[in-house]
Amino acid sequence: MALPRILAVLLATAALAPIAAAAQTVGTATAVNPSSESTPPGATTVTLSVGASIVHKERIHTSPTGTVQLRFVDKSTLSISPNSNILIDEYVYNPNAGTGHMTTTLVKGALRFVGGLLSHEGDATITTPSAAVGIRGGTATIMEGPEGARIINHFGVITVQNGTATTVIRRPGFAVTVPGWDRPIGEPERVTEAEITHYLRLLTSRRGEDGGVHGLKDVPVDDGSVSPGIRPLSGESDALQIQIQAAQHGTIVTEPVRPRRLR
């Protein structure tokens, strides 16, 4: 190969490298309270900051005081509580067709997923050691701890699956508990106001925190259900209750199956 042609190939490769790297970006950290860290694939762990890009296979972990909100390119959001560990397994989105899929693993802790364009036409799944949770056009709070998983449907259709059964929750304001992957899924039950308030506070900045945006105080790290700059002191779950009341009430179906574990 002639030298000029070799140089042309090298220059073309170098020009394409930033494009390939940028193509891996799936979202942005829009709010971060200390301390929270991220570990991109093949890289060292760094302190997460507002505006940081999120890529495939990136792991996010928060300290006992850390909270994070991630916003993805389809406008879906993940609000992550303290003491959490999550992995962005895969994110594919076609903005022209509005289709794609997203898979995130919640190793421990709690998060709230608010579906964007992808969850309406595509597929969003949150997996935990106890269950795989499919979210269709909705909002869900998911917690994984020593006693298993807790899944709350705030809006939309939530499918909970493990090694024993699949339960579909169509009614907002209902939740199930899953003790483990090979343990039966609990019966759906109505969520109390106290539990909704607990998780909303868990996923909200504490007094005096600015979400990583200097000059602001008491900024919620949530799904937009609380207005920025306003510290919720009462009626924390009002916005979620509005979502519940506005949703069409369906039925909850439990189908005994033995599915393959989702990864």
Using the structure block, give the residue that is written with the tokens 């919620």: 220
Residue 210 falls within a domain, yes or no? yes
Residue 117 — very low, low, confident or very high, per pLDDT cuts 50/70/90?
confident
What pLDDT score was predicted for residue 107? 97
d(Cα 171, Cα 23) in Å, to the nearest integer? 37
What the block records as the tokens of 12 is: 């073309």
On the question of pLDDT at 17 being above 50, the answer is: no
Length in residues, the chain: 263
Element spanning 11, H or E: helix 3-23
pLDDT at 263 over 50: no
Provide the pairing of β-strand 132-145 with 148-161.
antiparallel
Domain that holds residue 136: 3-255
Determine, yes or no, domain membership for 50: yes
What pLDDT was estimated at residue 240?
45
Contact predicate 152/141, CB 8 Å = yes
Total domain count, the chain: 1
Which pLDDT tens digit goes with each residue over 18-50?
Answer: 333 344 789 999 989 888 889 988 888 889 999
- Per-residue pLDDT at 95: 83
Q: Report if residue 260 sits inside a domain.
A: no
The predicted pLDDT at position 81 comes to: 95
Q: How many Cβ atoms are within 10 Å of 24's Cβ, its own excluded?
A: 15
Question: Tell me, what CATH number does 7's domain have?
Answer: 2.60.120.1440
Residue with tokens 């020593």: 146
- Determine, yes or no, domain membership for 60: yes
Q: What is the pLDDT of residue 207?
A: 53
Whether the predicted pLDDT of 124 surpasses 50: yes
On whether residue 261 sits in a domain, the answer given is: no
Could you report the per-residue pLDDT of 141-190, keeping only the tens digit for each?
999 999 999 999 999 999 999 999 999 999 999 999 999 999 999 999 99
For residue 262, being part of any structural domain is answered with no
User: Which residues face 142 on adjacent strands?
Assistant: 111, 151
Report the alpha-carbon distance of residue 174 to residue 190 in Å, rounded.
4
136 class by beta-carbon count within 10 Å (0-12 exposed, 13-18 middle, 19+ buried): middle
218-254 pLDDT, tens digit each: 444 444 443 333 233 333 344 444 333 333 233 333 3
pLDDT by residue (tens digit) across 65-97? 899 999 999 999 999 999 999 999 999 988 888
pLDDT at 16 over 70: no
What confidence tier does 118 reach under pLDDT thresholds 50, 70, 90?
Answer: confident
Q: At a CB cut-off of 8 Å and minimum separation 6, what does 4 contact?
A: none
Structural domain includes residue 214: yes
Does 73 map to a domain? yes
